[in-house]
Structure 1
Amino acid sequence: AKFDMSDEKKIIITELPVDTTSESLMNSIENAYKAGRIKISSIDDYTTDHCQIEIKLPRGVYAKDIEKALYAYTDCEKSISCQMLVIRDNMPVAMTATEIIKYYAKKLTAIIKDELEYDQGRLTEELHARTLERIFIEERIYKKIEQMKTAEDVVKAVKKGFVPFKAELVRDISDEDVETLLRIPIRRISLFDINKNKDQVAAINKQLKEISRKLKHLKDCAVDYLEGMLKKFKEEELVRHTQIQKFNVVDVKAVAKRDIPLRYDDKGYLGTGVSGGAEVLRVTPYDRIFILRRSGIYTVCDVPQKLFVDTGMWYCNLAEKDVISKVLFTVIYRDPKNGYCYIKKCRIPSWIMNRDYLMAPDGMEVLHVDTREKFTFTLKYKKKPRVKILSEDFDSANFEEKGHKAQGVRLSDHDTESISVQSADAQIGLFEGSK
């Protein structure tokens, strides 16, 4: 479709796409509006002889803002597959317009080649005949048959007379050639014009030379033929009604706006269809999200309508590799068998969709996950005989970053009871958009 966007608060559709009516186009625009894909105030059809569909825009929305969305979500842009079923070699074949043009281009060059070769053969025979006639008369070979008594002797005498001139002949002389020469009337022999014969031979040789050139450049001949055909038509009959333009592909994902709230409630449900709860971030239907559960399992999946991820979710963000790969995850976990605590600092460079990964080794209890570059925390140990130190402070900056598949570093040899993270107010939330 073609738009008139001279008024920034209004779009007028002046041309419809192929195989589309004003009614069907308006229905597609209304459906996109109801689905929340585009924002419009009203749509009216003033079409008469020419298309005129007027779209008015609401406050804060301008024509340039929804132009790409109209092409992406409505019938304002339609793709057409130009594929035709034709009969080729007595068989039905599906071909594109390009393939058909190539096929007929080859066929045209083949026809031109056949015609040129036919003309070449005809002119060669004519050259042979003119040469025989000249030699027959000029060298008076006809005199040698006067004493011959049989037809066979006559033919032999004529052929023998041409032996000294064999180099001048196009091909060997045949019996048919002899018969043709013998049918030349006496009057024509007496009035034979040698200069006229030479002119005829020169003209034939010139034509043969031109044919040889064309046979070496068949494509150029085909182009010349087509250009000659075009000259036979009137200029107004050759006006193109379509336009050749390069279209930029409108990516639906690129024009989609992140205006759908992704919520997480106190029951452990996450999704765009969750009512109530906290808004984690805003997404589009085409986004993918990274989820780190309380258990330390992380997953990348499409934006869910409603997904149970359990309470205490540690982290949630858009699953864009250039974003997630920059996040430094610090995981503090405990071994339930002996109560020892470990710390692991890593980044997540890659993943496979809808697959569960462990941030901590299997069977470990995740106590805390942090995304700050550095923070301090305190481990409190269980009271046991001979245990004098009941708490110990740590700084995450003192531990090195490792690969996401590596084991953590043990913090102490004491049975840990709990953990408290200092400066927690600096990390308001691990959810993107909650800051």
Structure 2
Amino acid sequence: DGLGKIVTRARMDTSDEKRIVITELPYGCTTESLMDSIEKAARTGKVKIASINDFTSATVNVEIKLPRGVYVKDVVDSLYAFTDCEKTVYCNLLVIKDNMPVQMTVTEVIEYHSKQLLGILKEELEVERAELMEKLHLRTLERIFIEERIYKSIEQMKTEEAVNKAVKDGFVPFRAEILRDITNDDIDHLLKIPIRRISLYDMNKNRKEVQAINARLKEISHLLKHLVDYAVTCLDGIEAKLNPATIKRRTELTNIRTVDVKTVVKRDTSLKYDEKNGYLGTAVSGGTELLKITPFDRILYVRKSGIYTVTEAPSKVFVGPEMRWCGFADKESLSKVLFTILYRDPQTQYVYIKRCKINAYIMNRDYFFAPDGMEVLHIDTRKNFSFALNYVPKPRVKILKESFKAQDYMEKGLKALGTRIVSKEVQSVTVE
């Protein structure tokens, strides 16, 4: 309806599995801009090509040759996703209406112009009807003036007033046949009729002309009652006069399969963590490689303190030493990760366990697994593991170490409080 967006694509010849020939460009694109976008994507590793050449003359002809081991089916989607082979045109129909800029839809524009067309056609028909009525009036006056020899009554008149009066008096018996009152202009028209025309007056010709006028008046009356049908007929007539070659659609309308950039790009960028310096990212020179990622991945990392954050693929971010966990932050990946958090209350020295999954988050915002003021002792992503609590030595405490299994505790919501393991002061936690 004129608002929204249209996706346009280059037309490609992919008959040769080792070569792509672009034969048509998307709207708003030139061969130079297209080649620049392809070369840029190739430099960043998003599209694999061996060479690109422009052989455009009268028609577009941009040839892309593929390297060894790469075929057309491996490259086409990447060209649509990362280059100007696919362009999105955003539509915003802004028009001047009543001397003011107004955003309208195509339907509203058509409705507006349809009403305007109906108004113009109605005015044209009414003007034509008025002209025909005037013409019919004059033909009636001429017929009566000549057939009834009213012109004879003015032969003895010596003044203009007397002549006009004689003519008007002559039409009194025929008042029912006259369409309107006789004016001085009508009398002037009658008096200007030459003698030759009076002598050669053809009554049949006048009758046929009057019949034609009445037929057209009847037709106009019908058209005014069916104005919409008349407007459609007029538009059909205009369309019939157009050259079909000039109004033929030159683009192809089709449902384009959307290319998801995330599925096209390959995970070949290393995400490294330098434990010594505490930096995480794709631009970290040293450290250990944790994942292979793409620029479109979201990464969740958990610091030693129990604070976790979700960001776009980081270039280089400081997370501190002893990072607890790092992984993909998409829903499918996180749904498989069960976090087990052991934390201690600094006031009572009691240790709590909390098992939960991360189902929702806001980008670039810090979250804390444990309640405020708690001290996180350990974070684990294994479903089954054992840990031991080392109690604070006291005179009546005989057992100073006790083992537990994480799987014995139920999974809770992310915002829920942890479960107190024992009512004893804990000095440290040992994970087995």
Q: What TM-score results when the alignment is normalised by the length of structure 2?
A: 0.77
CA apart distance, 1:38:
1.0
The one-letter amino acid of 2:303's match is: R
Give matches, 1:18-417, under 5 Å.
25-44=34-53, 51-78=60-87, 115-134=124-143, 140=148, 142=150, 150-151=162-163, 153-154=165-166, 156-158=168-170, 160-163=172-175, 165=176, 169-181=178-190, 183=192, 196-214=205-223, 216-217=227-228, 219-230=231-242, 238=246, 240=248, 242-246=250-254, 248=256, 250=259, 252-267=261-276, 268-325=278-335, 327-373=337-383, 375-417=385-427
SS at match of 1:123: helix
CA apart distance, 1:55:
2.7
**Which digits, 9 at most, give the CA deviation of each residue in 1:84-130, with x for residues without a partner?**
999999x998999x89x969988877765554443333222222333
In structure 2, the gaps of 5 or more residues are 1-9
CA apart distance, 1:209:
3.8
What corresponds to 2:5 in structure 1? Answer: none
Two-structure CA RMSD over aligned residues (Å): 4.3
CA apart distance, 1:305:
0.6
Separation in 1 of the partners of 2:15 and 2:393?
78
Native 8 Å contact 2:164 2:184 kept in 1: no
SS at match of 2:358: coil
Separation in 2 of the partners of 1:44 and 1:176?
81
**Which digits, 9 at most, give the CA deviation of each residue in 1:246-285, with x for residues without a partner?**
4736554453332212122222211111223333222221
**Which digits, 9 at most, give the CA deviation of each residue in 1:330-365, with x for residues without a partner?**
322111222111122333332222111111112212
Separation in 1 of the partners of 2:56 and 2:338?
59
CA apart distance, 1:78:
4.9
Native 8 Å contact 1:141 1:161 kept in 2: no
* Pair 416,86 (structure 1): closer, same or farther in 2 beyond 3 Å: closer
The one-letter amino acid of 1:369's match is: I
In structure 1, the gaps of 5 or more residues are 423-435
Separation in 2 of the partners of 1:413 and 1:84?
70
| 266-275 vs 249-258, which moves further | 249-258
Separation in 1 of the partners of 2:155 and 2:15?
102
Separation in 1 of the partners of 2:192 and 2:379?
114
The one-letter amino acid of 2:131's match is: R
Native 8 Å contact 1:381 1:390 kept in 2: yes
- How many pairs are equivalent? 412
| 188-197 vs 403-412, which moves further | 188-197
SS at match of 2:304: coil
* Pair 120,65 (structure 1): closer, same or farther in 2 beyond 3 Å: farther
CA apart distance, 1:50:
5.5
CA apart distance, 1:6:
1.3
| 56-65 vs 150-159, which moves further | 150-159
* Pair 39,228 (structure 1): closer, same or farther in 2 beyond 3 Å: closer
Native 8 Å contact 2:350 2:422 kept in 1: yes
CA apart distance, 1:295:
0.9
Separation in 2 of the partners of 1:153 and 1:49?
81
Separation in 1 of the partners of 2:82 and 2:40?
9
* Pair 264,194 (structure 1): closer, same or farther in 2 beyond 3 Å: same
* Pair 169,159 (structure 1): closer, same or farther in 2 beyond 3 Å: closer
| 28-37 vs 297-306, which moves further | 28-37
CA apart distance, 1:16:
5.1
The one-letter amino acid of 2:296's match is: Y
CA apart distance, 1:171:
4.0
**Which digits, 9 at most, give the CA deviation of each residue in 1:380-412, with x for residues without a partner?**
322212123333343444444433223222221
Separation in 1 of the partners of 2:92 and 2:341?
58
The one-letter amino acid of 2:398's match is: K
* Pair 261,106 (structure 1): closer, same or farther in 2 beyond 3 Å: farther
* Pair 68,214 (structure 1): closer, same or farther in 2 beyond 3 Å: farther
* Pair 124,48 (structure 1): closer, same or farther in 2 beyond 3 Å: closer
The one-letter amino acid of 1:255's match is: V
| 2:25 pairs with 1:13 | no
Native 8 Å contact 1:144 1:157 kept in 2: no
Separation in 2 of the partners of 1:95 and 1:361?
52
| 39-48 vs 252-261, which moves further | 39-48
Native 8 Å contact 1:148 1:154 kept in 2: no
Native 8 Å contact 1:109 1:222 kept in 2: no
Q: Identity of paired residues, percent?
A: 51
CA apart distance, 1:413:
1.3
* Pair 286,162 (structure 1): closer, same or farther in 2 beyond 3 Å: farther
Native 8 Å contact 2:150 2:167 kept in 1: no
What corresponds to 1:429 in structure 2? Answer: none
SS at match of 1:36: coil
| 269-278 vs 154-163, which moves further | 154-163
